[in-house]
Amino acid sequence: MNTSSDKPRIGITIGDLNGIGAEVIIKALADSRLLNLFTPVVYGSTKVLSYYRKQMGLEDFNYSQVKTKGQYFTKAINVVNCWEEMIELNPGQPSKQTAKAALTSLKRAVEDLKEGHLDGLVTGPIDKNTIHGEDFPFQGHTEYLTQEFNAGESLMLMVGENLRVGLVTEHVPVKDIPTFITKERVELKIRLMELSLKQDFLINKPKIAVLGLNPHAGDEGLLGREELDVIKPVINDLKTKGKLIFGPFPADGFFASGQHSKYDGIVAMYHDQGLVAFKTLSFESGINYTAGLPYVRTSPDHGTAYNLAGKNQASESSMRQAMYVACDIIKNRLEQTVEK
């Protein structure tokens, strides 16, 4: 953390300029109390912020342009101009130009994070269709950052007030999911979950639930053998090593009966299995955290929401919560470092 201040320096990427990213960033940071918790550094463009500020009628939303890399005003909203050219804004309309700007913003923030100018990163939503290409051959932020930080593997971890859901597979077509459900991968993701709960959330002895892949968790092999051949053996092996790992549970009954409230973390086998329940239970306050990286990265749990862009209707709750969680995890990690 910055030695000149006990406040973490949080980089915030603006996301797709025609989505709701700029709007929810402005709305979240308009609450000046956040400046007591961290130093925000927005990666994007003062022109874009001015456009949305005016559109939302928040003319008293002020910020300072960063002139020298890494030199920020600790009691102000800092903005790094990532491009000079004019970009036409059409809220609600995806475009290659705004996707390119979003990628430029992301790359600049990652560069500053690697160079030690930031303590953590909050990423605004991107449009995966328009940003995908030769310069960004990834399915999303998680895969890109895992490679950029040479992490090998990471865990997409959805974090709510009393709910944490990690995924064994992330952005994988449903028809391909079973090929990824291996003992090695399931165990790795469970271990990443346990490590994050200890290191990032300061839960000394985390209790983790693991969901099955098939309906009814396979019904003892009648509806698939992944539970018997892969998931159960991993759980049993980890139990013999003193880990509090339980399951596999049928996903529907697990959430419907409220069992999720008894565990510190839940490992789901695939994207929608975990996120449908998570977003139903924690949509306004939920955020996405990439566990297993050497740096702290969070994001709101929503996308570009083009249908709301430019209408001043988007809620900033998830973006604000992503900022809060980034601060908490940075401080938790620092606390552990000091103790060691």
Domains detected in the chain: 1-151+293-331 (3.40.718.10), 153-291 (3.40.718.10)
Report the distance separating Cα 96 and Cα 91, nearest Å: 13
pLDDT tens-digit map of 230-288: 999 999 999 999 999 999 999 999 999 999 999 999 999 999 999 999 999 987 789 99
Q: What is the pLDDT of residue 239?
A: 97
CB 21 within 8 A of CB 304: yes
Phi-psi region of 312 (alpha: psi -120 to 50; beta: other; left: phi over 0): left
Q: What is the pLDDT of residue 3?
A: 41
What burial letters (b/e) apply to 135-168, b meaning 16+ CB within 10 Å? ebebebbbbbbbebbebeebbbbbbbeebbbbbb
Tokens of 157: 């971890």
In this prediction the pTM is 0.93
Q: What is the pLDDT of residue 335?
A: 85
Residues in the chain: 340
Q: Dihedral sign, CA of 98, 99, 100, 106? A: positive
In the chain, which stretches have pLDDT less than 50? 2-4
Give the strands of the sheet with 164-167, arranged side by side: 64-65, 78-81, 39-44, 9-13, 120-123, 296-300, 287-291, 155-159, 164-167, 265-268, 207-211, 244-249
Q: What is the pLDDT of residue 4?
A: 42
